[in-house]
Chain A
């Protein structure tokens, strides 16, 4: 639904700047994930170091955006949709900041893995990384467009990443059992996979907040809708 503008154009602008800020942080985290994965698949440790260093910028932007939200709470005393928007923005920037940390974690693992011979071609991990990148993008689009369907889609995608993560675990487990020399590398790759899976959790967290923002009702900590629809 088309929202009417605030009578105060300054207030309107402050809210718009929060939106823009979140999109910008979102783009940075997506890029960080892509680069971390590239540093792994193309064995480029310099790139990995850059990802770790760039995470500082995400942290700074997160702090700055949160401060601006708190200032709006204090000075504008928002209500109703504006209040839900600001609380959602504070949560989203927190999620994005954690996503940035996880991209940096992946880059750290890449640096270690790049020191050793390649265990196997990376196939599922890049797929998973692409999926979580998509989830971040969609979760932020759902925020900008107040789009409940898209938020729901992010929640569905999160289940796919759970499945992928499990599949990767099982595969690596067989590697480790067959050859103990692969254990260290396998564990490292497991952690990359685990980090991607947690990024997906955060994207879902963003989608849940969007649903709260639009409807005023919390969907967090609820069992998945599709589970409940299963016939008994």
Chain B
């Protein structure tokens, strides 16, 4: 496997019961890049994202065919512990979902639960909050409830919480769709900063957001991957007509 490829999907089909949500997906995600998944509602973006950290395992009646390699390892092999995968592949959701705990404990909770080395929890909390560019705003209120933070702050807290687990990959499912433009800009700025150390895969309905922050963009339609290309290429001159119709607003 190419050294700059971190995740590789090989002929992946995915089913919810009888209905197939993803068809024959073969694609590579590159290390330390931001990859965006775009496409109309129901095309399978979130499903694909959840496949990458085995979150779909938690849904009854689902079935996967094909292989997904994380670095060299097939993450659906029998001997793989899904919990370990979820630690390495963190996830941030559309709606900020902090735990009803203090800011400090939101960050410390995960590392304490797992067998991570938590000798210096204070340092880990500070580091994670700094990485998520939230430290300055919360350093004096670490023992206040996370529920009192603004939506944008809560989302950065959720990113900090994911980072505290020291993942390699960060999955984000429409992370800014519930945020105002300023909070959105802060998250976008953060993503560009984080890609130095992490691989980021983001689902977004905001074309401009995909164009602004991603290096590569994949367009999905009805469970198929229609085009996967450099973001610049997708937004100036995509190879596939259907991609062009979608991103220029010719549909329906």
Contacts and interface: CB of A to CB of B under 8 A. Distances in A.
Interface of A: 1, 3-8, 11, 77-84, 216
Given A4-B250, A7-B250, A79 B235 contact: yes
A91 to B, nearest CB: 16
A80 B250 contact: no
A84 B235 CA distance: 10
Contacts of A11: 249
B244 A83 contact: no
B249 A80 contact: no
A72 to B, nearest CB: 12
Contact of B236 (A7, A8, A77, A84): A84
A79 B250 contact: no
Interface in B122-153: none
Given A5-B250, A80-B236, 15 more contacts: A3-B250, A4-B245, A4-B250, A6-B249, A8-B249, A11-B249, A79-B207, A79-B211, A79-B236, A79-B248, A80-B235, A80-B243, A80-B247, A80-B248, A81-B237
B226 to A, nearest CB: 14
Given A6-B250, A7-B249, A216-B237, A81 B244 contact: yes
User: A-B pairs with the 3 shortest C-beta distances?
Assistant: A216-B237, A4-B250, A79-B235
Nearest to B208: A77
B17 interface: no
A80 B238 contact: yes
Nearest to A3: B250
A1 B247 CA distance: 18
B248 A78 contact: yes
B252 interface: yes
Contacts of A80: 234-238, 243-244, 247-248
A143 to B, nearest CB: 17
Nearest to A80: B244
13 contacts: A3-B250, A4-B245, A4-B251, A6-B249, A7-B249, A78-B248, A79-B211, A80-B235, A80-B247, A80-B248, A83-B236, A84-B236, A216-B236
